[in-house]
Structure 1
Amino acid sequence: MDVKESISQYWDWRSQSYTNGSHGFEEEEKAVWKRELEPFLPGNRHKRVLDVGTGPGFMALILAEMGFDVTGVDISKGMVEKARENARAMGLQVDFRHADGEQLAFDDGSFDLLVNRHLLWTLPHPLDAVREWSRVLSGGGRILAIDGAWFDPSLNAQIRRGISRAVSKISSKSGPSIQSRFKEHYHSIKGDLPLCSHSQPERICNIFHEAGLSNISFRQLIEVQKLQDEKGSLLRRLEYHEPTFLVTGDVAKRGERMQ
C-alpha cells in the first residue's frame, strides 16, 4: 500500500472517533488556544488563513471564531466531512477541502497565514511541504506549526508508552483498539516519515530554516499542556509527557525574495 494511501485510510477510520481538543469544543479549551495563538496573529495582516491537515477542524474553526477567512484541507475525506459537520453545528463558514498537504492546488500568495496542528510528524516530505506552504503564502506571510514529541525514542518515553498501551489493551472493549489500528497502518511506513520519531522543535526549526523562512522561533504551549493534563486521562498524561510546542517562521517579503 502507498504511504499516503495508508495514512489516508487510517485517518478516515479515526475520523469516526477523533475529537477536537481534549473533550470536543469546550469553551475553556478554545479560550486557552486563542490566548496561546494571539501573540502570533499581529493586527489585520493575516486575514486569509489556510489550515493544513485540518482533521475535524479544530484550528480552522477556532480561527474562524476569531474573525479570519479560513480554508482547511486534509488528506482524509472522512476528516473533511467531520470538519464540515462541526462547522455546520457551530454556525461557522469555513471552506473545507480534500487535498494533499504537500501538494496544494492554490495559486502563489493565496494566503496570509498557514497553520497546522499535529501534522508534521506524519508527512513523508516535511521540507518539501514547508516549501509548498511558503509558495501559497503572500510575502511576509507566516507559518505556525503545532506539534509534539509523540514518539520520542528515548528509553523513558518508550517505557511510559508501553505501560499506557498495556493498560489500555487490558481495559479496551471488543473491536480494534486505536493502538492496534495505528500500528497496522504506521508500523511499515514510519521509516518513510522523517519526523515520526524526531518531531522535536529544534528539528522543525532547522527544516524551516532550510526552507528559507525567517524570524524562526519556537515556544512550549504550557497553558495548553496544563489544560490537557487536567482534562485528559492518566494514561494520556503518561504517554504524552512532553508539552505541545509551536514553531513559527515568516516568508520573505516580495522584494527580499528577489535579492
Structure 2
Amino acid sequence: MQGLSSVSNHDLRDEIKAYWSARAETFDTQPGHEIFSEEERAAWHTLFRKHLGDGQGKAALDLACGTAVVSHLLDDLGFLVTGLDWSEPMLERARAKAAKRGRKIRFLMGDAERTMEPDASYDVITNRHLVWTLVDPLACFREWHRVLKPGGKVLIVDGDFVNTSLVTQLLKRLTRLAAKLGLAKDALHGAPNADMAETHNRILQAVYFSKGARADVVASLLREAGFTKVTIDANMSAIHRTQRKNFSLLKGLERATQHRYAICAEK
C-alpha cells in the first residue's frame, strides 16, 4: 500500500474517514469514548459549564460528533445541538442513541474542516479528539471562526499523544506487558487490532500534528485564525479519576500522565 506521506490530502482525508467509519462499531464500548457512569458525566458537565456556561437554548455545533457523546452532554446543559460527522456509520449510531434517549439533536453529514454551515450561525462549537487529525488546522480554525456568532466560543478537548513523558512511556510498556500476561485487557485501548493500529499510525505520520498536538501550538493557531481570549485548561483530573474505574490500574495511571487539555477561545 502506498504510504500516506506521498499521497494527496484528498486521499489522506478519505483514509481518515474510512478509519473512523471502521471504528464506529466498537466506539461506544470503549472507556474514554462513551461515558459509563453518572460521576463521569457530571465531571464533563463541570468542564463544559466552566468554559461555556449553561446552554439556555443557544445553538451548539458538535464537530466530528461520532456517536454523539459530546452532543448529549451539550443537550444535557440546555444547548440546541447539531452534531456533524462525515462517517455515516457513526451518524447511524448517533441517531439511534438520540432516538432511544428521546433527545432532539439534529445530525448532519459533513466535514469539520469545511462545514458548509452559514456565517455566524452558532454560539458554541465543540469537538473532542478531532484536532490531532486535521490536515490544515489553520484553515479549519478560520472556518470555525466564520461559523461562530460574534462572542461565540469554541471548546477543543484533545491531547498530545506523540510527545509522551518518560513516566507515560514506562507505564505504557508495563501495561502492554500486563496485557501479555492477561492482566490488562485494555492495553491496546484505541487500537482494537493490529491492522487498525497500523492505519492509525500511518494517518498520524501524515497529518499536520504528526509531531504532536501540543496545547500551546493549537492555541497559537487559534489566535492566528482570529480568536481571542484563548484559555488552556490542562486540569482534566476530575474526568480522569472517574474514567479510572473502567481502566486497569496501569492504563488509568498512563492516561492521567498524558498531555490532555481543553482549550476555549472566543470570536
Per the TM alignment, residue 112 of structure 1 is displaced from its structure 2 partner at its CA by 0.7
The letter of the residue matching 1:8 is K
SS in 2 for 1:15: helix
SS in 2 for 1:187: helix
Q: 1:93 to 1:170 in 2, by over 3 A?
A: farther
Match of 1:211 in 2: 225
SS in 1 for 2:25: coil
Say whether residues 1:227 and 2:236 are aligned partners: no
Aligned runs of 1:47-196 on 2, under 5 Å? 47-154=58-165, 156-165=167-176, 167-168=178-179, 171=182, 178-196=192-210
Q: Give the TM-score taking structure 2 as reference length.
A: 0.83
Equivalent-residue separation in structure 1 for 2:163 and 2:238 (angstroms): 21
Q: 1:78 to 1:212 in 2, by over 3 A?
A: same
Please give the per-residue CA displacement for 1:106-140, whole angstroms capped at 9, x wherever unaligned. 11011010000111011111111111111111111
Per the TM alignment, residue 147 of structure 1 is displaced from its structure 2 partner at its CA by 0.8
Per the TM alignment, residue 229 of structure 1 is displaced from its structure 2 partner at its CA by 2.2
The letter of the residue matching 1:245 is Y
Match of 1:41 in 2: 52
Match of 2:188 in 1: none
Say whether residues 1:10 and 2:19 are aligned partners: yes
Aligned runs of 1:241-256 on 2, under 5 Å? 241-242=257-258, 244-251=260-267
Unaligned runs of 5+ in 1: 252-259
Find 2:212's aligned residue among 191, 198, 204: 198
Unaligned runs of 5+ in 2: 5-10, 186-190
The letter of the residue matching 1:246 is A
Please give the per-residue CA displacement for 1:59-116, whole angstroms capped at 9, x wherever unaligned. 1111112111100111221111111111112110111122111011111011010000
Q: 1:243 to 1:229 in 2, by over 3 A?
A: farther
Contact kept? 2:121, 2:147, Cα under 8 Å:
yes
Q: 1:113 to 1:105 in 2, by over 3 A?
A: same
Q: 1:197 to 1:228 in 2, by over 3 A?
A: farther
Equivalent-residue separation in structure 2 for 1:190 and 1:97 (angstroms): 26
- How many percent of aligned residue pairs carry the same amino acid? 29
Q: 1:89 to 1:45 in 2, by over 3 A?
A: closer
Equivalent-residue separation in structure 2 for 1:4 and 1:239 (angstroms): 30
Per the TM alignment, residue 25 of structure 1 is displaced from its structure 2 partner at its CA by 4.8
Stretch deviating more after TM superposition (3-12 or 48-57): 3-12
SS in 1 for 2:119: coil
Per the TM alignment, residue 233 of structure 1 is displaced from its structure 2 partner at its CA by 2.4
Contact kept? 1:45, 1:112, Cα under 8 Å:
no
Aligned residues: 248
SS in 1 for 2:151: strand
Per the TM alignment, residue 215 of structure 1 is displaced from its structure 2 partner at its CA by 0.3
Stretch deviating more after TM superposition (200-209 or 186-195): 186-195
SS in 1 for 2:95: helix
The letter of the residue matching 2:93 is K
Equivalent-residue separation in structure 2 for 1:21 and 1:95 (angstroms): 25
